[in-house]
Copies of this chain bind each other. A is one copy, B any other.
Amino acid sequence: MLALTLVVLALTLGGVVAGHVMADSVVVGVDFGTLSGRAVVVRVSDGVELGTAIVTYPHGVLEQSLPNSTVPLPPEWALQVPQDYRDVLRQAVPAALRRSGVEPSAVIGIATDFTACTMLPTTSEGIPLCELDEYRENPHAYAKLWKHHAAQPQADRINELARQRGEHWLPRYGGLISSEWEFAKGLQVLEEAPEVYTAMARWVEAADWIVWELCGTYVRNACTAGYKGIYQDRTYPTSDFLAVLNPAFAGFVKDKLDQPIADLADRAGGLSAHGAALTGLPEGIAVAVGNVDAHVTAPAARAVDAGQMVAIMGTSTCHVMNADVLREVDGMCGVVDGGITRGMWGYEAGQSGVGDIFAWFVANCVPAAYEQEATDRGIDVHELLTKMAADQTVGEHGLIALDWHNGNRSVLVDHELSGLVLGQTLATRPEDIYRALLEATAFGTRRIIEAFTDAGVEVNELIVAGGLMKNELLMQIYSDVTGLPLSFIGSSQGPALGSAMHAAVAAGAYPDIHAASAAMGSKQQAVYAADAASAADYDELYAEYLALHDYFGRGGNEVMHRMKARRRSAHVTRSRKTKDNA
């Protein structure tokens, strides 16, 4: 049945003959991360990864200033340069193909996934405004990366107004719209750079812009439209609503945002001549609609059934899970019809700081003697700390931490929160604090799982993807803290593989992503199981975490908010001083 479908569809792909599709056809998946993009060439029949290449963005993340400028960006800003994304297509795709040993003619489709919500203002032809001389020095003309958090005042107003008006879409986002998303960032542009707002014909998700770049067609994807664009029940927030925020914002949806929306794994179009020139791939092959790095990982991990929660654990953690039911889950990032796979309710939650908290700790809080010992033993500092902490019994370090160094995405949805470590004595050692931070992130995951189960959305299995899989202590802690078995994705490049599956479906090689996932995905089942004694001890520590979580996160003491506000105003004072002195 599947073979027949493939043959039939393959006939529609100019130049690709039946049979060739089954045996040798490949697809290309491209994953656009925060600091680099990765292309992988994948065999359609079984998901084997044949070649891969990574390109680091030349401009990385702009947090201090624009390129060739010393004018400082304000705090909480994070921009990117869209040309960096094109560089990934231009360099990584051909390199991955070369390494795979596959001829370009064997490629039947390409699909991409992106960080989200990353937004850029473009002309009606999709040219980023920052590429026009007129706007090159205007920070608002650049791509606002997901972690650009300077639109918080706008987000606050959106939330306040939505609560007042009882907007039906608000509960779909755990009651809070993030400052990271399309509307808050768009309103910030309007209010801080009206000239950019006026000049931008479109306010585009980078996930869709890259597809536009490949096939010349601007089509929005159901995933980001739903999770980041407040598109629910086939509508956006009304212009009535927007006008109250700012009269000039009334036409935002119609004038800047609205665009046909396609389901994930749909074909957005054929690879354009421009796209073919960029990538070295054959013109006309299928280009799938855009997607998001986390969401695209679920099929790569064979985790598209209800109750299978995928945790993509890297610098931050994103949790995605399908369900048959629509429920309003406390503080989730969003629930979207078809947000992960067509026909199911896709739930998303997240922890805004995980691996980057550990990295911050290693970079800033570990003394020379430890660095020396790690060097002597030929391991990195993370490994050293992990080994030193691995042998401890639960609670031996006497510490409890809150994992909010980068704010809290779920379930509190509050970027104004911050980190905390409690219990230090003069005997506290770096490995103690490191372990407490590992545990804090595990407690954060447990809190999210409980939000789902409390709302009647079952979680049966935790499937881990991402770079943190390799830390055995961390994985055991997650299993002990959550009480769930931990399965692992089979691939080390989940998002790119997931994208490749979407390319296969868009090219017609599989009828849907479930079929592609079954054929091309892989999972190691129950790699870790909870230790009963540790799990019982962690129940008690989790209760301590929860008490601090609610005290500092739910209004018991708003000190974190006040300290962040004070920090911001101190920075304003300082930059004013610096300017005065200059």
Which residues on A are within 8 Å of B, measured CB to CB?
A: 353, 356-357, 360, 363-368, 371-372, 392-400, 405-406, 418-426, 428-430, 540-541, 544, 547-548, 551-552, 557, 559-560, 562-564, 566-567, 569-571, 573-574
Contacts and interface: CB of A to CB of B under 8 A. Distances in A.
Which of A393, A396, A544, A567 has most B Cβ within 10 Å? A567
Contacts of A363: 367
A423 B367 contact: no
B367 A567 contact: no
B395 A566 contact: yes
Contact of A398 (B357, B368, B399, B418): B418
A420 B424 contact: yes
B426 A570 contact: no
Given A420-B420, A426-B406, A567 B395 contact: yes
A353 B424 CA distance: 12
A504 to B, nearest CB: 37
A227 to B, nearest CB: 24
A346 B434 CA distance: 45
B425 A418 contact: yes
Nearest to A424: B419
B423 A421 contact: no
A418 B428 CA distance: 10
Given A421-B420, A424-B421, A567 B364 contact: no
25 contacts: A357-B426, A363-B367, A364-B367, A365-B367, A365-B430, A366-B367, A367-B367, A367-B368, A368-B371, A368-B372, A393-B573, A395-B566, A395-B567, A396-B574, A398-B567, A418-B422, A418-B425, A419-B422, A419-B424, A421-B421, A422-B560, A423-B559, A540-B566, A541-B566, A544-B559
Q: For the complex formed by this chain, how many copies does it contain in all?
A: 2
Contacts of A393: 570, 573-574
Contacts of A559: 400, 422-423, 544, 547-548
Contact of A365 (B365, B396, B423, B541): B365
**Interface hub of A393, A566, A574 (most chain B Cβ within 10 A):** A566
A419 B423 contact: yes
Nearest to A418: B423
A371 B430 CA distance: 16
Given A364-B430, A365-B367, 7 more contacts: A360-B426, A364-B428, A395-B569, A405-B425, A406-B425, A419-B425, A423-B564
User: Which among A372, A418, A424, A569 has the highest number of chain B CB atoms within 10 Å?
Assistant: A424
B371 A563 contact: no
**Most chain B beta-carbon contacts within 10 A, residue among A367, A397, A426:** A426
Contacts of A544: 559, 562-563
